[in-house]
Amino acid sequence: MSETSRKLTTIFCADVQDYTRLMGKDEEGTLSTLRRYRDAMKRLIEAHGGRVINTWGDGVFAEFPSVVEAVRAAIDTQNELAGYNAVINPDKQMLFRIGLNLGDVIADGDDLYGDGVNIAARLQSRAAPGGIVISNTVYDQVRNKVAVGFDFLGQLEVKNIDGGVPSYAVRIGSVQVVDTTSDYRSPRPERAPARAPEPVAQEPALQDWRRSYAAPLIVCIGLAILNGLTWHGEFWAKWPILAILWVTAFRYVRSNRQIDMAIASLVITGVGIVMINLFTWHGTPWAMWPLFGLAIAAALRWVSRPRSGV
């Protein structure tokens, strides 16, 4: 039998708005859409360092060691699913509600229990369709670390939690910040939140790019200069430069949710093979054979991708 233990973690809880209505209209189509959307959600959760714990019914339950990455995964999820919904019939659109909470939970094997989990579920149930609601414990950790705004919603009543849980809606696009049927109550003066929400400045794209990719490029330039200064007729820097650029390219496609990771990986591998063939050229274009295999794999991946509409 597995032993139980306690740990502090970030709980991610999501489910579909009006799932019963969607199933009543088209069971097979709704199930197909749900699978596609949950596959995308699982990919984004894992890309941000989280793990999916369970997928029951129309729900997704996950945890993250990083609070910031949990919020980023939730934002990426809603943005990507909004793109999916934009190209299908409004009556078939599938809108997830997401709740996030940082709390102490009981771990029993791969399962999690406790108030930390229950709070995340309650936050999710009060989020607007396509929206995200976070607890004050999450807000305190991310308010100056993610480039979005927050709206204070008041105290959410939660069973067995005296005084409720201060909560915030993450401001993404034009999504209504909270379910209008939610049972929030205005914070009493003596129980006001520790701090009012502060607007978070949008980080310039150039600054974000520089922080992520400038270092590898500088290292590559430095290696090329060093090779030139110690030139003895051999361009030895090509190998570490190729390795650095290869890793950086994978890092880029991993962080870009608009790129098919499988196809991009095949393309990057193919470019690397071509470069190796050129760097070790002895008159034989041996790279054509692995490129042929990669091209077939990429084509199979392309034709097996889910259609834009459902």
Residue 212 has pLDDT above 60, yes or no: yes
**Mean pLDDT score, 76-92:** 90
User: Which of the pair, 149 or 259, is modelled with greater confidence?
Assistant: 149
Residue 192 lies in a domain: no
Which pLDDT belongs to residue 152?
92
**Mean pLDDT score, 95-124:** 90
Residue 271 has pLDDT above 80, yes or no: yes
Residue 177 lies in a domain: no
Q: Tokens 């509409």 label which residue?
A: 309
Domain of 46 in residue numbering reads as 2-169
Which pLDDT belongs to residue 90?
85
pLDDT band per the 50, 70, 90 thresholds, residue 78? very high
Residue 188 has pLDDT above 70, yes or no: no
Residues 281, 163: one domain? no
Residues 39, 138: one domain? yes
| Lowest-confidence segment of 43-47, 89-93, 171-175, 209-213 by average pLDDT | 209-213
Question: CATH number, domain at 132?
Answer: 3.30.70.1230
Residue 134 has pLDDT above 90, yes or no: yes
Q: CA dihedral in degrees (193, 195, 198, 203; nearest 10)?
A: -110
pLDDT band per the 50, 70, 90 thresholds, residue 255? low
| Lowest-confidence segment of 152-156, 202-206, 216-220 by average pLDDT | 202-206
What CA–CA distance (Å, rounded) separates 270 from 125?
Answer: 46
User: Which of the pair, 75 or 1, is modelled with greater confidence?
Assistant: 75
Which pLDDT belongs to residue 198?
42
Q: How many domains does the chain have?
A: 2
pLDDT band per the 50, 70, 90 thresholds, residue 205? very low
What CA–CA distance (Å, rounded) separates 179 from 163?
Answer: 20
Residue 190 lies in a domain: no
Residue 186 lies in a domain: no
What CA–CA distance (Å, rounded) separates 255 from 239?
Answer: 25
Q: What is the mean pLDDT of the chain?
A: 82
Q: pLDDT tens, 29-70? A: 899 899 999 999 999 999 999 999 988 788 899 999 999 999
Q: pLDDT tens, 298-310? A: 888 777 755 443 3
Q: What percent of the chain has pLDDT over 90?
A: 34
Residue 11 has pLDDT above 90, yes or no: yes
| Lowest-confidence segment of 144-158, 205-219, 221-235 by average pLDDT | 205-219
Q: pLDDT tens, 164-187? A: 889 999 998 655 555 544 455 544
Please check whether residue 48 is in contact with residue 64, taking contact to mean a CB–CB distance below 8 angstroms. Answer: yes
Among 151, 169, 187, where does a domain finish? 169
Q: Which of 118, 80, 81 is nearest to 99 (CA)?
A: 118
Residues 49, 150: one domain? yes
Residues 64, 141: one domain? yes
Q: Kindly write down the DSSP assignment for every residue of the chain, as one continuous string.
A: -PPEEEEEEEEEEEEETTHHHHHHH-HHHHHHHHHHHHHHHHHHHHHTT-EEEE--TT-EEEEES-HHHHHHHHHHHHHHHHHHHTTS-GGG---EEEEEEEEEEEEETTEEESHHHHHHHHHHHHSPTT-EEEEHHHHHHHTTTSS-EEEEEEEEEETTEEEEEEEEEEE-TT--SS-TT--EEPPPGGG--SS-----PPPPHHHHHHHHHHHHHHHHHHHHHHHHHT-SS--TTHHHHHHHHHHHHHHHHHH-TTS-HHHHHHHHHHHHHHHHHHHT-SS--TTHHHHHHHHHHHHHHHHHSPPS--
